[in-house]
Amino acid sequence: MNNRKRQVLLVARQLFAEKGFAATSVQDILDESQISKGTFYNYFTSKNECLMAMLEYAHEEATIKRRELLIGQDIQDKNILAEQIVVRMHINREHNLLPIYESVFSSGDQDLRSFISKHHFMEISWLTERLVDVYGKEAQSYAPDCAVIFMGMMQHLIHFWNASSTEKIDIQRLAQFTTRRIDAIISDMMATNDTLLGASLFNHLQPANETTVDNKSMVIMLLTQFLEKCANDTKLSGNQYTQFLLDEVHSAQPRVFILETVTRSFNETFSNTHFEPETREIVTYLWSFIDILKKMN
């Protein structure tokens, strides 16, 4: 994603939050962004696709930050899980996404509602996997129920807080509280062998199988192109990270921990630069590649 396209997304996000999705026209976005209709439709086929790209961007940001929190940490650490939950809530606030979600659902647009529902299921699927990380394989049958309960508790606590207080809820405290409650619930479910939804309900949410070869080829191509593009840039440390990642991915046995650490440094180095959109894409593919390596080990 180039910087100009990203700027259009930022403008559209602000308009959607202020006016509502249905009330915002493509012309509003053109006027505020100061771009032509041709430029807009070169980026997006419709207003709907513009919104989808915006939500995908937020999802990628959350995924990257959550993965970085786990580097060198114990996957069973419940505090890390709570921090990962907070990441998504912070992004929703920073991107002002909650009023956009509400506007979409009230608009009745079935395609967009399906798209948002898909992301909601992806979030539940992610939380299900993390609960298994925290509580072990023996929790696999109970994790889907607990993930849905977890999300439901947080949503209703937020709604009640907003209805009864003028202050913003402390999302750090909320995440910690909900994590403690789930700790008690999942332990009891496991002790009594009590489930409602069960693991099979979420089988259709599993992503299609990725091959290491295909993913590796994509990472190598993106890193090579990026290195060529910023070869004359003054960010020497950034170029060093890029070259290191390229060499490590090329190796016969890439080292997971090294890849995780350098990927984070690479992301941080190019953050808030004109290279950020491309860096985001590369980092997303790198984390996918790392996931595949972990499953193979």
Q: Please report the pLDDT score of residue 1 as a whole number.
A: 60
Averaged pLDDT for residues 89-114 = 83
> Which residue do the tokens 């590369």 mark?
282
Residue 183, φ and ψ in degrees, nearest 5 = -55, -45
The string of pLDDT tens digits covering residues 125-138 is 999 999 999 999 99
> Which residue do the tokens 């990257």 mark?
64
Query: Which structure tokens are listed for 8?
Result: 């259009």
* Inter-residue contact 199 to 137 (CB < 8 Å): no
The string of pLDDT tens digits covering residues 193-222 is 999 987 666 665 555 555 556 788 899 999
Rg (CA), the chain: 21
Which has more confidence, 210 or 253?
253
* Inter-residue contact 210 to 225 (CB < 8 Å): no
Q: Please, which contacts does 146-149 make with residues 24 or more away whose CB atoms are closer than 8 Å? A: 146/182, 146/185, 146/186, 146/189, 148/124, 148/197, 149/182, 149/185
Q: Please report the pLDDT score of residue 185 as a whole number.
A: 96
Give the integer Cα–Cα distance in Å for 34 and 12. 12
Query: Which structure tokens are listed for 241?
Result: 């990270």
Averaged pLDDT for residues 37-44 = 91
The string of pLDDT tens digits covering residues 117-163 is 888 888 999 999 999 999 999 999 999 999 999 999 999 999 899 89
Task: Name the band, by pLDDT with cuts 50, 70 and 90, for residue 187.
Answer: very high
> Which residue do the tokens 């580097």 mark?
71
pLDDT greater than 90 at residue 274: no
Q: Please report the pLDDT score of residue 201 as a whole number.
A: 62
Q: Please report the pLDDT score of residue 144 as a whole number.
A: 93
Give the integer Cα–Cα distance in Å for 147 and 249. 34
Within 8 A by CB and 6+ apart from 268, the residues are none
Give the integer Cα–Cα distance in Å for 114 and 273. 34
Domain ranges of the chain: 48-205, 212-296
Give the integer Cα–Cα distance in Å for 66 and 44. 28
Averaged pLDDT for residues 78-91 = 95
